[in-house]
């Protein structure tokens, strides 16, 4: 009797972690669920504020309208396909650009001795302390003076210098044994060949991991595209959503906004879910 009572109590205590975790998962899933559901109803239903908890029948209309048309019932917008393309270009250019220039400069710093090496290293290092937000106005001016407002170049190039990625690659390069370099030199490989034949293949995992976090970083940019893009053709999807919402009045094309939001979340979430292993590695390693 006493024994079975204890096991019963045990079981209840064992359930506590599950309950807490499930509540946690629900808190994170609920807003997404509401948005997903909302994107399948018409705007009037949403606007009245009593959105059902089951999907409606407007999904196809909402998504196709948001995807390709430049206006809803109440206002005109940039079509999602344009904004997704802009976001994609921005995310890919930032991720690939950062990886490319970081791996090259890390290679220079790790494998060569040359005058002012440490000066260059510190110059790159300092950028850690200068996030775009703190030098936003003067950087904007530079981009404006260069005539890069409303261009992909202006949107991406100022963001591709990255101390974090350079430090990560340098750290990894320092783990490549000296003997491997020597073996390659004796085999007749110079600096360029060694980079292409040995360093690059060995860096594959690091590159994949960095790509995941940098893609998300690029896709999620907000303040910078807000400043640099004026024309509707250049709008990124994250900015597009907040422009569609405006002041958040009831009389909005909520159905389109919600469909757009879902489409804005999809690529980065997919990258995280499908590349989870690399993503976690990239995140944890780059902060070491």
Partner 1 sequence: MQRRVIFDNKLLPYLLLAPQVAVTLVFFIWPAAQAIWQSVHIQDAFGLRSEFVWFENFEVILRDPNYIETLKTTAIFSVSVTVLSLGVALLLAVLADSKIKGARAYKTLLIWPYALAPAVAAVLWMFIFNPEIGSLGQLLNRLGLDWDYRLNGTQAMIMVILAASWKQVAYNFIFFLAGLQAIPRSVMEAASIDGAGPVRRFWTITFPLLSPTTFFLLVVDMVYAFFETFGTIHALTHGGPGKSTETLIFRVYQDGVVNNDLGASSAQSVILMVIVIALTAVQFRFVERKVHYA
Partner 2 sequence: MATVDIRNVRKSYGPVEAIKGIDVAVQDGEFLVLLGPSGCGKSTLLRMVAGLEGITGGEIAIGGRVVNGLDPKDRDIAMVFQNYALYPHMSVFDNMAYGLKIRGIPKPEIQSRVAKAAEILELGRFLDRRPSQLSGGQRQRVAMGRAIVREPSAFLFDEPLSNLDAKLRTQMRVEIKRLQDRLGITSLYVTHDQVEAMTLADRILVMNHGVAEQIGTPLEVYQRPASLFVAGFIGSPPMNVLDGRIDPAGAAIAMPGGAVLPLAAPRAADAGRAVKLGIRPEHLALTAADAPGASSIQVELVEALGADTVVYGRLPDGESLVVRMAGLPACREGDRLTVAPQPGALHLFDADGGRRLAEA
197's contact among partner 2, partner 1, none, with CB below 5 to 8 A by partner kind, is partner 2
Nearer to partner 2, 71 or 193 (CB): 193
3-class DSSP state of 71: strand
- Asked if residue 40 lies in contact with residue 59, where contact means CB atoms within 8 angstroms, the answer is yes
- Exactly one of 12, 153, 200, 223 binds partner 1 (CB under 8 A); that residue is 223
Nearer to partner 2, 161 or 189 (CB): 189
Q: How many angstroms separate the CA atoms of 150 and 234, rounded?
A: 6
Q: How far is the CB of 194 from partner 2 (least distance, A)?
A: 10
141's contact among partner 1, partner 2, none, with CB below 5 to 8 A by partner kind, is partner 1
Compute CA distances 28 → 25, 33, 171, 258, 284, whole Å.
5, 9, 35, 17, 22
Q: How many angstroms separate the CA atoms of 99 and 161, rounded?
A: 9
Query: If we measure between CA atoms, which residue out of 237, 268, 253 comes closest to residue 78?
Result: 237
Q: How far is the CB of 288 from partner 2 (least distance, A)?
A: 21
Q: Is residue 206 at the binding interface for partner 1, with CB under 8 A as the rule?
A: no
Nearer to partner 1, 65 or 255 (CB): 255
Within 8 A by CB and 6+ apart from 189, the residues are: 197, 198
Angle at 210 between CA 209 and CA 215, to 5 degrees: 110
Burial annotation 151-167 (CB, 10 A radius, 16+ → b, else e): eeebbbbbbbbbbbbbb
Q: Is residue 219 at the binding interface for partner 1, with CB under 8 A as the rule?
A: yes
3-class DSSP state of 76: strand
Nearer to partner 2, 184 or 265 (CB): 184
Q: Is residue 261 at the binding interface for partner 1, with CB under 8 A as the rule?
A: yes
Q: How far is the CB of 215 from partner 2 (least distance, A)?
A: 24
**Do you know the residue count of the chain?**
288
Residues that bind partner 2 (CB under 8 A): 177, 179-180, 182-189, 193, 197-198, 201-202
Nearer to partner 1, 1 or 119 (CB): 119
Q: Is residue 11 at the binding interface for partner 1, with CB under 8 A as the rule?
A: no
Nearer to partner 2, 205 or 220 (CB): 205
187's contact among partner 1, partner 2, none, with CB below 5 to 8 A by partner kind, is partner 2
- Exactly one of 9, 10, 12, 31 binds partner 1 (CB under 8 A); that residue is 31
Which residues from 65-124 bind partner 1, rule CB under 8 A?
Answer: 100-102, 104-105, 107-114, 117, 120, 123-124
The pair of structure tokens assigned to 110 is: 């790790």
Compute CA distances 220 → 156, 163, 240, whole Å.
12, 19, 12
């Amino acid at each position: 009797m006493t024994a079975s009572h204890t096991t019963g109590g045990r079981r209840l205590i064992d359930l506590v972690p599950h309950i807490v975790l499930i509540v946690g998962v629900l808190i994170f899933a609920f807003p997404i669920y509401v948005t997903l559901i909302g994107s399948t109803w018409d705007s009037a239903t949403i606007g009245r504020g009593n959105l059902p908890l089951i999907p409606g029948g407007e999904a196809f209309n909402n998504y196709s309208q948001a995807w390709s048309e430049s206006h809803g019932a109440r206002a005109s917008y940039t079509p999602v396909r344009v904004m997704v393309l802009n976001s994609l270009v921005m995310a890919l250019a930032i991720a690939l650009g950062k990886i490319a220039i970081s791996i090259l400069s890390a290679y220079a710093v790790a494998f060569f001795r040359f005058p002012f090496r440490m000066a260059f290293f510190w110059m790159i290092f300092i950028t850690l302390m200068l996030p775009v937000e703190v030098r936003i106005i003067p950087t904007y001016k530079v981009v404006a003076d260069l005539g890069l407002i409303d261009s992909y170049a202006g949107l991406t190039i100022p963001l591709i210098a990255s101390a974090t990625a350079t430090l990560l690659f340098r750290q990894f390069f320092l783990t490549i044994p000296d003997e491997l370099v020597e073996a390659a030199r004796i085999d007749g490989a110079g600096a360029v060949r060694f980079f292409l034949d040995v360093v690059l293949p060995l860096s594959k995992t690091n590159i994949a991991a960095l790509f995941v976090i940098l893609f998300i970083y690029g896709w999620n940019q907000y303040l910078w595209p807000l400043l640099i893009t004026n024309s509707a053709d250049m709008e990124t999807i994250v900015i597009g959503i907040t422009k569609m919402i405006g002041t958040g009045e009831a009389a909005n094309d909520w159905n389109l906004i919600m469909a757009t939001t879902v489409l804005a979340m999809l690529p980065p979430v997919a990258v995280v879910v499908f590349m989870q292993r690399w993503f976690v590695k990239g995140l944890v390693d780059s902060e070491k």
